Structure 1
Amino acid sequence: MPVRGRAVAGIAAGWSLRTAAPKWACVWRNHPEAQCRLRTIVMPAPWNGWSDPAWQALLHQRLHEVGLEPDGPDPRLLAQAEREILARLAPPWTKLMTGQHR
């Protein structure tokens, strides 16, 4: 379903924003040409709310990748967002990789 609210502010007319489970959001991320053709940005469901700075950085990056934003997001926030997605894709492995398994 299209998302309403603050997260949509940067999306051009005729485009929609859809949320998906982290796995499907990663699958769609690898197909920007399909998203452009469908005029739809597929994002992982927000983990800390729509206004979370890391999630907003990820949205900003996706908009930049399809040409709807001229500049990319803050690299630190984008890296944080990527870590959040990884943590949701493989929680047990992420804990082992970061040393949080004890």
Structure 2
Amino acid sequence: MPNYARPADSDGAERAIAVFGNRTKAAIIRYLRQDPNAGRKAIAKALNLETSSTVPQYLGELEEAGLLLADPPRATRKRGEWPVYRVNDIRVTELYLRLGQEIGEI
């Protein structure tokens, strides 16, 4: 397994970079800010990613990170239930500000 360089005090930026440094994840957040309460298929279609398997994966990652809120939430979702998503604006702003702090912008 490769050994990646990790600068001291860089842990706070990792999650923000993983989200804001990924075009598809950023596009999902942008789309849901404009069109809240959209389902997976609508999101994939709007982003021209209908054939991609990354949208469900990224939705799960963003939900797990608290950046997206799903209805119904993952913990109560039953098999075959398709959630709709909206952005957790407070959490996205917190993460964005954290990235700014880490790079010395704020």
State whether TM-score is above 0.5.
no
Query: Could you say which structure has the larger radius of gyration?
Result: 2
Highest RCO, 1 vs 2 (Cα 8 Å, sep ≥ 6):
2
With normalisation by structure 1, the TM-score equals 0.30
